[in-house]
Amino acid sequence: MMAPALWALMSHWWRNPIQFFAVIGGLALATALWCGVQAINAEARASYDAAAGVLGEGQYDQLVPRTGDTISVEDYIALRRAGWLVTPVVEHRFGAVRLLGIDPLTAPAGFAGLSAFQDQSNSFQRHSVFANAKTAETLSDELDIVVQLDVADGLAIADISVVQSFAKAKGLSRLIILPNQPMTQPLLEEIAPGLKRLAANQTADVEQLTDSFHLSLTAFGMLSFVVGLFIVHSAIGLAFEQRRGLVRTMRSLGVPMRRLLVLVAVEMGVIALIGGTLGVLLGYLIAATLLPDVAGTLQGLYGAQVSGVLEFRASWAASGIALALAGTAFAVSGRLLQIAQMPLLASGKSRAWVMARGQRSKIQGFLAVALLISAAILAGITNTLFLGFGLLACLLVGAALAFPLLVSKATQVFERRSKNATVAWFWADTRQQIPGLSLALMALLLAVSANIGVATMVSSFRLTFVGFLDQRLAPELYLQVDTKDESAALDKYLTDRGFESLPLPRADIDVQGEPARLLGVRVGPTYRQNWVFLDQIPDPWTDVKMGKGLIVNEQLARRQGLWVGHSVTLRQDLALPIVAVVGDYGNPSSQAIVSESLFADLHPQTPPLQFGVRTNDPQSLRTALVQDLGLAHNAMINQAQIKSASLEIFERTFMVTAALNVLTLGVAGFAILMSLLTLADIRVPQLAPVWAMGMTRRRLALLELARAVSLAALVFAAALPVGLALAWVLLTVVNVAAFGWQLPMFLFPAEYAGLAAYTLIAAVLAALWPVGRLLNTPPAALLQVFSNER
């Protein structure tokens, strides 16, 4: 009896292949979306880690030569033998590529590029050069190149011996000082008087900024999970609705309830596995397509040497299959309960029409209001990450639950206002369909809101980040000197030759008993044009220049509660008003900024030892400074290069995220298509009387299209505020809870208009097939409705 019963259950899919496709396809797409997001998240992290590798090179103190640009191996050995834990770095330019030689044996854990050596199974590839695929193309064939995706663009890393023999040079470029030094060591001057110590460079630490972006991408991953669950739930729910009659018949024929439940569970488990597996494969394809640098072409170019081509990770696959199973279980459990409770001779008619009516919609409305009120309360009090994600959940689920009710209300209003019978019927008929469409509508609402939210978040992030880089890395060249005389000579040299010289004096101070750093600036076009403030009085730079005001960073403002209008005491007889607050992303310490001359008054013994210079040709200025002033190569940092390298890395992730947006919409469109297709069959009896009254099938079909468009428009109208609220929560609540500073939120109307267009297109595309079927419904089928009526 088991086999015939299973056969009977399965026969439903034979007779309704489209529905089978809907369930499998829905599961597969939801799983694929989840896997794709996982892959992109992983890729984003890898990109940022690579960026941090370039930008974070300055996180260690360094030893560099006082003159010239190399350190002898003898000096290195003398330092090590004296108990100085330092590790050598050799750097050479090979065209546009920086070839970095490191000593994996003494490099600190986490040092730029060290992981490249260790990732290679467990062998130390001391003859290889590691670079990403793009950089590898530009390197010489003489080198044994291993493609390693997490190495930053424009950088190649190898063992020091490889770089030395390739560059035919013996010296070392600089020595990195390891963080944990032994108990005793002699002074540097006693061991290597020709070297000087450079403090860790603090201008380029963007780690916190990128952590914030990771967090937001994780939130996006969770959203796509929820959208996926909705789709699975909707597809399976509809399939069960249609099998109520079959279940009744089987029960009547004597199939025991328990066995029936087991059979259904097994059947759905198998379907979930098939859908999930397809989804994982699809997700892999999506990720491979979306990640331009990971596309499989590498394999062909580099043969067996390629490592790290988008790997099929067990973790995505497992999480994808788990999603499919969990989503199916979630959708099926309620239905199984219904079957279990169904009286033996209950009507086998579909209940789709009475779903979400009466009691049910009241509960739904109550829940939605409760969740949205909770979200509003949480928005006011949230100060932890946990509450932040709770707020997100309340907001999204509340909005999704409220949406079908709002649409229903809206159609009621439209119906009342319509002056023409056809229009009134159109709205009434739309409203009647809402219960059947509600899950698909919720999925679309969530997808569109997530897209609006993520687009806002990503674009705001990009604006902020680019602005931050422009602001902090505006001077193309950074210079370091050692003494007051050198400082004055350098400033004179630069000013005499018409360069905009930006001395950067700094001193440690106390602000209301808390440590902070005081910076002096030479107010000029660079600061006026590039700095963006979180809050400011009009023209703050003029006040700073006159010594009548100071600028503080956001960290100081938040920590001490000092904002524009408050004043800061710099000396007993000198308190200045704050004229602007500047976002200082990724910097943990407090800063106050005053004019160069005021700084010199306050700290006459602290000359500027660092300078920024504006120049269109950093390379020749470098050469000139070496020749004319004897500056060491190591004392000059080309910020323009660092800036363009990091921008390029970030840009890659933004593109990937944009592509993902389109994908999410596609999946939501699929949910609508499947709902409409399922409803189309059930709706024939509803359409037959209208047709009989003289409305042509063509007109009916056009009205169906119009319905899809108007529903999509309603979805977008609701998604815009929900999406913006989502972005606001991510940027100003979750980020502050996680990192203590806020990312400014910008609005992007053009992007939203584009998204609106995509939403309408997705709805129209989804409606085209059911509309086509309606156009081709034979009149006989419509007539039959009347003959069937009793």
Applying CB under 8 A, the residues found at the interface with another protein are 73, 76-77, 80-83, 85, 103-106, 117-118, 121-124, 126, 159-161, 164-165, 180-185
Buried b / exposed e along 292-321 (16+ C-beta atoms within 10 A):
ebbeeebeeebeeebbbbbeeeeebbebbb
CA dihedral 489, 495, 497, 499 (to 10 degrees): 120
Task: Enter the tokens of residue 287.
Answer: 């990720």
Do strands 477-480 and 636-638 pair parallel, antiparallel, or not at all (unpaired)?
A: antiparallel
CB of 111 to another protein, least distance (A): 13
Question: To 10 degrees, what angle do helices 639-692 and 257-290 make?
Answer: 140
CB of 719 to another protein, least distance (A): 49
CB of 359 to another protein, least distance (A): 55
Report which of 575, 578, 598, 574 is spatially closest to residue 520, judged by C-alpha positions. 598
CB of 161 to another protein, least distance (A): 4
CB of 115 to another protein, least distance (A): 11
CB of 95 to another protein, least distance (A): 24
CB of 175 to another protein, least distance (A): 13
Q: How many residues does the chain have?
A: 790
Q: Measure CA of the first residue to CA of the last residue in the chain; give whole Å.
A: 35
Cβ-based nearer residue to another protein, 109 or 344: 109
What Cα–Cα distance (Å) separates residue 465 from each residue in 332, 445, 528, 712?
A: 46, 29, 18, 34
Q: How far apart are CA 666 and CA 684, in angstroms?
A: 27
Residue type at 712 in one-letter notation: A
Buried b / exposed e along 429-466 (16+ C-beta atoms within 10 A):
bbbebbbbbbbbbbbbbbbbbbbbbbbbbbbbbbbbbe
Strand partners, 516: 509
Contact assessment for residue 777 and residue 466, using Cβ atoms and an 8 Å cutoff: no
Cβ-based nearer residue to another protein, 190 or 508: 190
Cβ-based nearer residue to another protein, 176 or 494: 176
Strand partners, 643: none
What Cα–Cα distance (Å) separates residue 349 from each residue in 246, 353, 768?
A: 10, 10, 27
Contacts of 75 (CB under 8 A, 6+ apart): 191, 192, 194, 195
Cβ-based nearer residue to another protein, 82 or 706: 82
Cβ-based nearer residue to another protein, 172 or 325: 172
Report which of 510, 481, 683 is spatially closest to residue 66, judged by C-alpha positions. 481
Cβ-based nearer residue to another protein, 184 or 616: 184
CB of 190 to another protein, least distance (A): 13
CB of 636 to another protein, least distance (A): 26
Cβ-based nearer residue to another protein, 118 or 347: 118
CB of 633 to another protein, least distance (A): 21
